[in-house]
Amino acid sequence: MKILALNCGSSSIKYKVFAWGKQEVLVEGQVERIGIADGCVSHEVALKQILKELPEIAAVGHRVVHGGEKFKSSMLITPEVLEEIKKVKDLAPLHNPPNIEGIESAQKVWPKIPHIAVFDTAFHQTMPEIAYTYAVPYEWYKMYGVRRYGFHGTSHLYVSRRAAVMLKKPVAETNVITMHIGNGVSIAAIKNGISVDTSMGLTPLEGAVMGTRSGDIDPGILLFMIEKEGFYADQLDNILNKKSGLFGITGKYMDRRDIYKSAEAGDQRAQLAIDIEVYRLKKYLGAYLAVLGKLDALVFTAGAGEKNWKLRERVLEGCEGLGLVLDREKNRVAKSHEVEADISFPGSQSKILVIPTDEERVFIEDVVAILENRYDVHTKFTYSFERPDYQRTK
């Protein structure tokens, strides 16, 4: 059985074809500049181009960023399910519309095979009310769904389950903090195997400092800047999502490689950006330690989490009193997107792990399980990567 994992962004499509029987990736790639000059005119045209490169497939798994409260697990996309996804598109205006366009285009290109939605928000639907409720008029929640949802769910699910394997503990007895640090950044507190809090909120804008997103700010800043500059909602949306974060602080860089290089050359704003990011990550680490009470492991994942040893070292400076003691030599050699590593010093009360994420693996396994009628919500479902003998597919 060959499964296509599809991730449709506003101007790009990432894809991977997985042969379930052979447990191997057959094809993977990316189409960019969709709807932009010199690129494909639409997702449908791009998918037709991709189709020429693909073997015959049995099903498609679609990444859907926001599922609202309706979806607590991956779902076969029926007309009713697609309509419900469209109802919550206002909760993720930058992400859900291209996800929806990708689904509709793929259904036209592959009309006779099943299409399954895999939701970024589903993993965090276990959060208690005290964690997901904002201190704003409660009617906003009842009328418009204003609450914390959380994102990067497939990544947090994958690495937390792999952490349990590395710790040789049952998932249901494992407490971990997972730090997904890429261009987008989110942290999750996972208690007894389930998400109890996470840094992103109603949208992926809340939380840690990110490549171009502000993360946590005083809401009064928006009112202040509206008064000073007369900004409209779409202008503020663009500034907070695309011109803030590391890019906003440095004024020119969103890629951490450029920022670290510039800081080493004496750029004070680049150094400030590094210091602010580290400080914010430390604050979340401390907060989630308090939430969990007992920590089995801290997990770093995603692009910078997996490869930026300097960032990890800075985040963990001074955390020895919290039971997190870093082995600096192990940390400096752990910079692979393929190899899992324990970078904690012997005797560290809590383990410090680097686990490369594999969100597509979650996509594939959810799709296959749905097709074979054995799927369940993630709190009751066991993935193949939870086995001690599991080998990551390259």
Concatenated DSSP letters for 39-108? S-SSHHHHHHHHHTT----SEEEEEES--TTT-SS-EE--HHHHHHHHHTGGGSTTTHHHHHHHHHHHHH
Identity of residue 362: V
The pair of three-digit structure tokens given for residue 73, joined into one six-digit string? 């697990």
CB-based burial label for 288 (10 Å; 0-12, 13-18, 19+): buried
Asked if residue 148 belongs to a known ligand binding site, the reply is no
Question: How many other CB atoms are found less than 10 A from the CB of residue 149?
Answer: 29
For residue 182, say whether it is annotated as part of any ligand binding site.
Answer: yes
Is 84 labeled as ligand-binding? no
Tokens 């009842």, located at residue:
142
63 marked ligand binding residue:
yes
- Is residue 120 annotated as part of the catalytic site, yes or no? yes
Ligand-binding annotation for 95, yes or no, is: no
Residue with tokens 């790639």: 29
The annotation status of 99 as a binding-site residue, yes or no, is no
- Residue 265, token pair as written in the block: 């050359």
**Residue 161 counted as an annotated binding residue:** no
Confirm or deny that 147 is annotated as ligand binding.
no
129 is in an annotated binding site: no
The sign of the torsion formed by the CA atoms of 124, 127, 131, 132 equals positive
Task: Out of 120, 267, 358, 366, pick the active-site residue.
Answer: 120
* Residue pair 13/30 in contact by the 8 Å Cβ criterion: yes
Taking Cα atoms as reference points, which of 155, 200, 210 lies closest to residue 178?
155
State yes or no: 16 annotated in a binding site: no
Instruction: Tell me whether residue 328 is annotated as binding.
Output: no
Is 256 annotated as ligand-binding? Answer: yes
**Can you say which residues are annotated as belonging to the binding site for Mg(2+)?**
7, 359
> Which residues are tagged catalytic?
120
Q: Which residues are part of a known binding site?
A: 7, 14, 63, 180-184, 255-257, 359
Q: Return binding residues for substrate.
A: 63
* Binding site per annotation, positions for ATP: 14, 180-184, 255-257
